[in-house]
Amino acid sequence: MANSAGRDLLIKKASTTFASVTQKSVTWNGNPIDITSDDDDAATTFLASEFATTSLEIGVQGYMDDDVLHDLAFTATDSGKHLTDITIVYANGDAISGNFILTNYSETGSSDGASEFSATLVRNGVHTFTPSA
């Protein structure tokens, strides 16, 4: 993937880009299946071509100029934190889409600065990766 500006990495709910985001991160994690035995001379060996579990997380930070994530975080029902139609769009046109859960949200503010937020969304189920054309 070619170099690109961070502002060109977009996080969307349906077709609406999350507002006032200043920092974004996308993290994939895989937990391989350990099949180490006495035959491996104390070297860890993993099952080929398969993971026990995988995860995909989106982190966002920005300024609080709308209440979308704020309202989701503080609503009393857990079902409201399950988000469908989340898409990560890269500058080259690659896209990752799927269902995510809001698992972390925080707000900060200082007397001489703007109110800010940070949030973490964790993939729920399998995602779809669509490479650019």
Which of 30, 40, 128, 119 shows the shortest CA–CA distance to 72? Answer: 119
Mean pLDDT of all residues in 18-33: 90
Kindly indicate the confidence band of residue 18, based on its pLDDT and cuts at 50, 70 and 90.
Answer: confident
Contacts of 52 (CB under 8 A, 6+ apart): 31, 32, 33
For residues 81 and 72, the answer to whether their CB atoms sit within 8 Å is yes
Residue 96 has pLDDT above 80, yes or no: yes
For the chain, percent of residues with pLDDT exceeding 90: 55
Which of 70, 61, 68 shows the shortest CA–CA distance to 14? Answer: 68
For the chain, percent of residues with pLDDT exceeding 70: 98
What's phi and psi for 76, nearest 5 deg?
-75, -25
Render 86-108 in DSSP notation, one character per residue. EEEE-TTS-EEEEEEEEEEEEEE
What are the boundaries of each domain within the chain? 6-130
Task: Tell the residue number behind the tokens 């209440």, with chain if given.
Answer: 67
Tokens found for residue 34: 């350990």
Residue type at 120?
A: T
Residue 117 has pLDDT above 80, yes or no: yes
Residue 1 has pLDDT above 70, yes or no: no
pTM above 0.95, yes or no: no
User: If you ran DSSP here, which 8-state letter would residue 78 be given?
Assistant: S
60 forms beta bridges with 24, 119
Class of domain 6-130: mainly beta
Query: Which of 1-5, 16-20, 36-40 comes out lowest in average pLDDT?
Result: 1-5
Exposed, middle or buried, 58 (CB in 10 Å: 0-12/13-18/19+)? Answer: buried
Mean pLDDT, the chain, rounded, equals: 89
